[in-house]
Amino acid sequence: MSQQDMSSRQVDPWRFTGEFLHNLLSAIIPEQPAYEAIPWTPVSKPLAESKVALLSTAGLSMKGDEPFDMEMERRNPMRGDPSWRQLAFDVAATDIEANHLHIDTGYLLRDLNVALPTERLAELVAQGVVGSVADHHYSTMGYQGNDTSELEQVSAPAIAEAMKSDSVDLALLAPV
């Protein structure tokens, strides 16, 4: 892959903020560590034949499962719980808890699709646009502050392994 192709695949965290917010937020938020190029993987088969899983950053857990640690977040508002949770493929808002102090969880409890678009995904499967829904979806707490090491080195590889075990072809990120 050429250097130009790689640079066109770099994530610009300020792309949609506009100049005012870019200047304001970049002055407040500490510089993030430099990362090597993101290992983008080309889609290997048609979407209509693919098994798709969702990954939300809303701090979602199934009722009865261990919730995300909001006390950690209260003690240090610049740091969220870096662990992850597995969610049922047919999860509904009544089945989950939303544990995240940096977002208004009331919106997603009224309409889970804002944080985990399971109904939209099911519609795409019914229309034949997407092949199938994976057996599980996943959630993390998106606000990690400056220390993303546990999320990167522990949670992300574990989620990837769970998706491989579930024969997931494509994961869609639902950032909140």
Q: Where are the domains of the chain?
A: 48-174
What mean pLDDT is reported for the chain?
86
Tokens, residue 1: 């892959």
pLDDT for 34: 65
CA dihedral 63, 66, 70, 71 (to 10 degrees): 130
Q: For residue 3, what pLDDT band results from cuts at 50, 70 and 90? A: very low
Residue 168's Cβ-count burial label (10 Å; 0-12, 13-18, 19+) is buried
Q: Which of 128, 143, 138 is nearest to 168 (CA)?
A: 138
Mean pLDDT value across residues 12-39: 73
Is 69's pLDDT higher than 70? yes
pLDDT tens, residue by residue, 8-20: 556 676 777 778 8
What one-character-per-residue DSSP string does 9-55 give? TS--TTTTTHHHHHHHHHHHSPPPPP-PPP------S-GGG-EEEEE
Contact 155, 147 (CB under 8 A): no
d(CA 108, CA 112): 4
Is 42's pLDDT higher than 70? yes
Is 6's pLDDT higher than 90? no
Give the helix ranges, DSSP H, for the chain. Answer: 3-7, 18-28, 70-75, 105-110, 118-126, 149-150, 156-165
Overall residue count recorded for the chain in this entry = 176
Q: Up-side HSE of residue 141: CA atoms within 13 Å toward CB?
A: 29
More confident residue, 86 or 32: 86
Is 133's pLDDT higher than 80? yes
> Global pTM?
0.80
